[in-house]
């Protein structure tokens, strides 16, 4: 960290103000109950950068009395940045899915189970999103052609491509409710 805090208050001086109250509460609980805790907090380094630190904290006793707190820490900044990027990506995905003017049905590539859909798809089908999610993608197509649609779906997933027609050249069809 580029710093060597010798006491708890010196460590708290390095900590981001928004993280102090929770860590302080956890520390007080440790002193009262002796129950170890893990926490994540932002720390200002000697280079005036902020890093995420994951700490593991245990109470060390001597002669049956609490003597000190042993805290170990690991820099988890990269992990936190990846988590934040993933959350942002998921939010963008959800926004795009909800805002798409065209019907979108997202199915699991292995099972064909519909895992997500948007309002345009629900309107097209005349069913709620909850009625669509969980069904197999082949349920969206004419029942007499379920095997053909299942095979086309599996082939498209395997080839990582889109399908615009059935193997016999006929157009893809979607049934409404």
pLDDT in tens, 32-42: 999 999 999 99
Q: What are the backbone angles phi and psi of residue 53, rounded to the nearest 5°?
A: -120, 130
Query: pLDDT by residue (tens digit) across 94-111?
Result: 999 999 999 999 999 889
The predicted model gives 108-115 an average pLDDT of 91
Q: List, in order, residues 6 or more apart from 173 with CB less than 8 Å away.
A: 141, 142, 145
Q: What is the DSSP letter of 102?
A: S
Tell me the C-alpha distance between 19 and 54, whole Å. 12
pLDDT band at 56 (very low <50, low <70, confident <90, very high): very high
3, pLDDT greater than 80? no
92, pLDDT greater than 90? yes
Output the DSSP codes for 124-154.
Answer: HHTS-HHHHTTSBGGGGS-GGGHHHHHHHHH
176, pLDDT greater than 90? no
Nearest to 31 by CA among 63, 70, 1: 70
Tell me the C-alpha distance between 107 and 105, whole Å. 6
pLDDT of res. 122: 94
Q: List, in order, residues 6 or more apart from 177 with CB less than 8 Å away.
A: 125, 126, 127
pLDDT of res. 79: 96
pLDDT band at 23 (very low <50, low <70, confident <90, very high): very high
153, pLDDT greater than 90? no
How many CA atoms lie less than 13 Å away from 58 in the CB half-sphere? 3
Cβ count within 10 A of residue 92 = 10
Tokens of 11: 């460590």
Tell me the C-alpha distance between 122 and 119, whole Å. 5
């Amino acid at each position: 960290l580029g710093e060597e805090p010798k006491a708890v208050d010196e460590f708290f001086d390095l900590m981001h103000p928004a993280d102090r109250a929770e860590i302080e509460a956890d520390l007080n609980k440790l002193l009262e109950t002796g129950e170890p805790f893990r926490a994540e907090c932002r720390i200002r380094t000697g280079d005036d950068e902020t890093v995420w630190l994951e700490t593991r904290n245990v109470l060390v006793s001597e002669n049956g009395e609490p003597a000190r707190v042993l805290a170990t820490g690991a820099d988890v900044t990269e992990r936190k940045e990846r988590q934040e990027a993933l959350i942002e990506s998921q939010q963008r995905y959800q926004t795009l899915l909800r805002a798409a003017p065209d019907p979108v049905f997202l199915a699991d590539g292995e099972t064909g189970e519909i895992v997500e859909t948007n309002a345009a798809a629900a309107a097209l089908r005349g069913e709620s999103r909850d009625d669509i999610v969980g069904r197999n993608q082949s349920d969206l197509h004419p029942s007499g052609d379920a095997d053909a649609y299942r095979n086309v779906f599996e082939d498209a997933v395997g080839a990582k491509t889109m399908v615009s027609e059935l193997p016999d050249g006929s157009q893809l069809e979607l049934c409404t409710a």
